[in-house]
Chains A and B, each alone.
Chain A
Amino acid sequence: MSAYRTYAQLSQAIASLASAAPAVCETFTLAEPSVEGVAITGLHIRAGDAEGTRNGVLLLGGVHARELMNPEAIVNLAADLLISYAQESDITYVVPGTGAAGATWAGIGIRVMLESLDIWMVPCSNPDGHDYVLSTDDMWRKNRRPETGPTCSDGTEPVGVDLNRNCAIVWGVIPANGEVSCDPCDYQVYCGPAAFSEPESTNIEQLLSEHPIDTFADVHSYEEMILYPWGHAPNQTTDPAENFTTLQTGTCSPIPDASYSEYIDPVDLLKLQSVGTQIASDVAKVRSHTYLLQPSFALYPTTGTNPEYAYSRHIADKGAHKTYGWTIETGPFIGDAADSFHPSDPSQTILDAKAAMLSLLMQSICAIDLIGTQLFGSSAEAATDPLAGLRTRRDVLFQSDAGRAWLELYRQLHPALLARVGADADFRSRVARLVETAASLADDPGRVLSDDDIQRGLSVIDDLAAISPEHLRAQLQAARALFQTMNGFSAEAALAVVAERSPS
């Protein structure tokens, strides 16, 4: 099976897709060519007429040269999205004969996705390494930087930097039992002479700096895993002072304090886990493969990786946009490393990878943000974010078990909500009024829910119940019953109630 394209063929594919759908997407060239001078291209998908800032998603592949399935998966996913949008058709991934029901994304959901997100795809960020795998060494992982330094013990000259060890997040620190090296002769995980020494990794830093990317997936192989930060130390949620900004970088030695744990905001941790759980669930629908969700550190300790760098930016620089980052490790191991990196038939693993990315894309849409943007204009245009009060209240909910249960209910209702919002202008307008009311309640402590507010809310709940999965209807009934009692409630009073009483 001729499964893998050259870099030139991959580039031609995305250029042709962009030419076929010029109103929906365009190619872009990353800031720096590769070490060997190859222009690195990506695809930016943004459909519809809605102006202003949208949630941004970055999908990255081919960082490690030998992981050949993932550039294919990203290019194929781009085609699936564009075909679905053009034909108003569903996307379904199912493997015949597996007994699995398959994973389906409704066409209306894809439309909402493309019309509400900025999707940045870089299918192959390491073109030199990619083609070197095809032409010379099928286990090559790094880029093709000729390194200065003594000849290696096997008589070869040192070549290449691991582009997933080269980012400015605890760069050049070698965790105990970790997979990082300061040795230019290391075949696998040399971190480079400096953070962002390589044009291919600088490109990712520039993308994250130039565009408000909210969610980011770096797609690798082979494990069947969803990984979230951190990679350099175990996570802890109690001591914000114990964080990476205090660590010395470039030491080529472990973190001096062996008991060091990295702080992660507990609300962020829940979001990373919640989204990761849904990704794993959506992948499992394809062919019942279980992708394990865990922190990167649990796979093996690392520093300088792309997803951790992306998530670290807003901590290192308070003005930077917050980006939630995951590594999607497609798999599985099939008895031999080379065959696992580039199996002769990758088609089923590519379905897993595409389902994982679609899941992340779908979860990157926030119906409330979407409606809020249409109501108030983009946050970039407004002097202040009109939904800031609502976001703060939402974060409060994350802090109680019952609050998290409500947010989980909202997450599960989200696909149905989005589909209805996209298809029904009257429903969208009623939801918009609710969002407006909620934003007003959140911003004004003296504002209380009126009977009209309650009736409008109940009508939306009823409409949502009619199109929701059966197993969520009891919880919606609980929501209905609770909401009915909130006449005269301020935002604080309503929050206090839902923080105490879960929907189930």
Chain B
Amino acid sequence: MSPSQVVDVVTAGYEVRVFAAHPIGPLDPSLIMDDATAQAWIDDQVAKIRSGRRS
């Protein structure tokens, strides 16, 4: 359906909802933590816990 046809349909009193199809695919790999980063986070948190008086 072209944009002008959408305008015609809306003018005729209809409601038009346009959905953009999302292609099936994996999460952007750059958003996934690598093991080294995950381990660095753990090491940082564990060090803070162990440095406390009530560890």
A residues touching B (Cβ–Cβ < 8 Å)? 1-6, 9, 12-13, 16-17, 19-21, 68, 79, 82-83, 85-89, 133-139, 337-338, 342, 344
Contact between A17 and B49, CB atoms less than 8 A apart: yes
- Nearest first, the 4 A-B pairs at minimum CB distance are A86-B52, A87-B52, A9-B38, A20-B46
Contact between A9 and B46, CB atoms less than 8 A apart: no
Q: Does B17 contact A (CB under 8 A)?
A: no
Query: 30 A–B contact pairs at CB < 8 A?
Result: A2-B30, A3-B33, A6-B38, A12-B38, A13-B41, A13-B42, A13-B45, A16-B46, A17-B49, A19-B46, A20-B49, A20-B50, A82-B45, A83-B48, A83-B49, A85-B54, A86-B49, A87-B53, A87-B54, A88-B54, A133-B27, A134-B27, A135-B26, A136-B24, A137-B24, A138-B26, A138-B28, A342-B27, A342-B31, A344-B28
Residue of B nearest to A346 (CB): B31
Residues of A within 8 A of B27 (CB): 4, 68, 133-134, 138, 342
B24 to chain A, nearest CB (A): 5
Alpha-carbon distance between A96 and B33 when the two chains are bound, in angstroms: 24
Contact between B51 and A5, CB atoms less than 8 A apart: no
Which of B27, B53, B54 has the most chain A CB atoms closer than 10 A to its own CB?
A: B27
Alpha-carbon distance between A2 and B27 when the two chains are bound, in angstroms: 11
Contact between A3 and B31, CB atoms less than 8 A apart: yes
Contact between B32 and A86, CB atoms less than 8 A apart: no
1/0 per residue, CB under 8 A from A, across B3-44: the answer is 000000000000000000010111110111111011101100
Q: A9-B33, A86-B49, A138-B28 are known contacts; what are 8 more A-B pairs with Cβ within 8 Å? A: A6-B32, A17-B42, A86-B55, A87-B51, A137-B25, A138-B26, A139-B22, A139-B24
Query: Of A4, A17, A337, which one neighbours B31 at CB under 8 angstroms?
Result: A4
Given contacts A86-B48, A134-B26, A337-B22, contact A1 B31 (CB under 8 A): yes
Contact between B35 and A9, CB atoms less than 8 A apart: yes
Residues of B within 8 A of A6 (CB): 32-33, 38
Alpha-carbon distance between A6 and B53 when the two chains are bound, in angstroms: 32
B17 to chain A, nearest CB (A): 14
Given contacts A4-B27, A138-B27, contact A17 B53 (CB under 8 A): no
Given contacts A5-B38, A9-B38, contact A137 B26 (CB under 8 A): yes
Query: Of A83, A85, A139, which one neighbours B45 at CB under 8 angstroms?
Result: A83
Alpha-carbon distance between A89 and B22 when the two chains are bound, in angstroms: 45
Residues of A within 8 A of B37 (CB): 2
Contact between B45 and A79, CB atoms less than 8 A apart: yes
Residues of B within 8 A of A3 (CB): 31, 33
Residue of B nearest to A24 (CB): B54
Query: Of B31, B49, B50, B51, which one neighbours A344 at CB under 8 angstroms?
Result: B31
A333 to chain B, nearest CB (A): 14
Query: Of B24, B28, B53, which one neighbours A88 at CB under 8 angstroms?
Result: B53
Alpha-carbon distance between A33 and B27 when the two chains are bound, in angstroms: 24
Residue of B nearest to A345 (CB): B31
Contact between A4 and B26, CB atoms less than 8 A apart: no
Contact between A21 and B33, CB atoms less than 8 A apart: no
Contact between B25 and A138, CB atoms less than 8 A apart: yes
Residues of B within 8 A of A344 (CB): 28, 31
Alpha-carbon distance between A87 and B52 when the two chains are bound, in angstroms: 4
B45 to chain A, nearest CB (A): 4
Contact between B50 and A86, CB atoms less than 8 A apart: yes
Contact between A4 and B49, CB atoms less than 8 A apart: no
Given contacts A136-B26, A138-B26, contact A13 B38 (CB under 8 A): yes
Residues of B within 8 A of A337 (CB): 22
Which of B32, B35, B53 has the most chain A CB atoms closer than 10 A to its own CB?
A: B32
Alpha-carbon distance between A6 and B27 when the two chains are bound, in angstroms: 11
Residues of A within 8 A of B45 (CB): 13, 16-17, 20, 79, 82-83
A219 to chain B, nearest CB (A): 19
Residues of B within 8 A of A2 (CB): 30-34, 37
Residue of B nearest to A85 (CB): B54
Residues of B within 8 A of A338 (CB): 22
A17 to chain B, nearest CB (A): 7
Given contacts A6-B33, A17-B46, A134-B32, contact A83 B22 (CB under 8 A): no
Residue of B nearest to A13 (CB): B42
Alpha-carbon distance between A68 and B24 when the two chains are bound, in angstroms: 17
Given contacts A9-B35, A17-B46, A139-B22, contact A85 B30 (CB under 8 A): no
Alpha-carbon distance between A6 and B35 when the two chains are bound, in angstroms: 9
Residues of A within 8 A of B38 (CB): 5-6, 9, 12-13
Residues of B within 8 A of A135 (CB): 26
Alpha-carbon distance between A9 and B51 when the two chains are bound, in angstroms: 23
Residues of A within 8 A of B46 (CB): 16-17, 19-20
Contact between A5 and B26, CB atoms less than 8 A apart: no
A197 to chain B, nearest CB (A): 25
Contact between B31 and A88, CB atoms less than 8 A apart: no
Residue of B nearest to A2 (CB): B33
B48 to chain A, nearest CB (A): 5
Residue of A nearest to B43 (CB): A16
Contact between A4 and B42, CB atoms less than 8 A apart: no
Residues of A within 8 A of B24 (CB): 136-137, 139
